[in-house]
Amino acid sequence: MTLNDLKTGMIVKTRDGKYHIIMKDFFDNGDILAGLSGNTRISESWTSLSNYNEDMTYSEIPSLDIVSVYASTAYSANTPTKLLWQRKEYREVTMKEIEEKFGCKVKIVGNEEQHNDGWIPCSERLPENEDDVLCWYEYRIIQGDHEGEMNRECGIGYYNKSFKRWCGEIYYKQDYKVIAWRPLPEPYKEDEEE
């Protein structure tokens, strides 16, 4: 979606978390983004869409970048109903596009957390503190049909620097060895109503 796709009545959310309504040809002011907070009159709380770039970023103030666009209905013109578009905070590019931009072959280096889907090999580094992390580890099976065989799985653990060993749920496995780790994901959060 681009700036030209915005229509009167659409609700937009800016990076600062505020909602606005699009109003095209608004009296003498032209195309505007009108504030929807509180009982403020529209004419006192607005900005011109001419301040925006085609990709809906604000020319001078990043907190006013449009990050999502919603439809509204005639019955609730000031309430976002259906999400129409949301800004991606990154751009997907191919290696060829990068090489064309720099005019040479490139090799991606650094930021090991982006490689291997965020897994960090223990041979490269261990966690800095004793916070729980997600561990990919192997251990020896101690009973059943596969007794003595090595198995691999994922679990939660932490590295104890004082004892120089991994602890947590993995500690209770036979002959365990942590191969890689990654920070735990953010906890699930239910959508908050605006």
Q: Give every residue of the chain whose pLDDT is below 70, as ranges.
A: 37-44, 74-80, 90-91, 109-115, 192-194
DSSP E strands in the chain: the ranges are 11-14, 19-23, 32-35, 46-48, 66-71, 82-86, 120-121, 133-140, 150-160, 165-168, 174-183
C-alpha–C-alpha distance, residues 125 and 121, integer Å:
7
Amino acid at 8: T
pTM confidence score: 0.45
H helices of the chain, in order, are: 95-102
Closest CA to 194 of 52, 36, 67, 43: 36
Q: Please, what is the Cα angle at 102 between 98 and 103, to 5 degrees?
A: 110
Torsion sign, CA atoms 171, 173, 175, 176: negative
Residue with tokens 């869409």: 49
